[in-house]
Amino acid sequence: MKVRAIRGATQLRFDDPQEMAEAVTELLAELFEKNGIVKADLISILFTSTPDLVCDFPAAAARKLDLGDIPLMCAQEIPVAGALPRVVRVMIHTYSQLSHGEMKHIYKRGAEVLRRDIAQ
């Protein structure tokens, strides 16, 4: 198996802890399912969020998916003028049999506009 990185993003309607948890778990579940990821293959997950999201850490939602023993890290996106607001991005590092071209990068809830070239 090779080490792969899979991208995704989701946009929240509001800066709300419940919505953060729902959006992040929905995104991760779809990324795992579409890419055949199982917990044993995970290496780490990096989350970023736009500066307008301060209600919670995106990694807190991942812990609710029994990922507490996987290295998780959150960071803040740079505040670019005109950038899409209330966005959580994710980069999953995992072992996979899939080639780079077979990876399914998932963008949801309005975040599709960020990467129309790779969004599924």
What is the secondary structure of 9-51 as a DSSP string? EEE-SSS-HHHHHHHHHHHHHHHHHHHT--GGGEEEEEEEE-T
Any idea which architecture 2-114 has in CATH?
Answer: 2-Layer Sandwich (3.30)
pLDDT of 66 reads 87
CA distances for 16 relative to 39, 81, 85, angstroms: 27, 23, 14
Sequence ranges of the domains in the chain:
2-114
What pTM was estimated for this model as a whole? 0.91
Q: What is the pLDDT of residues 7-27, one digit of tens each?
A: 999 999 999 999 999 999 999
- Is pLDDT above 70 for 64? yes
Nearest to 73 by CA among 34, 104, 45, 111: 45
Give percent of the chain above pLDDT 90: 75
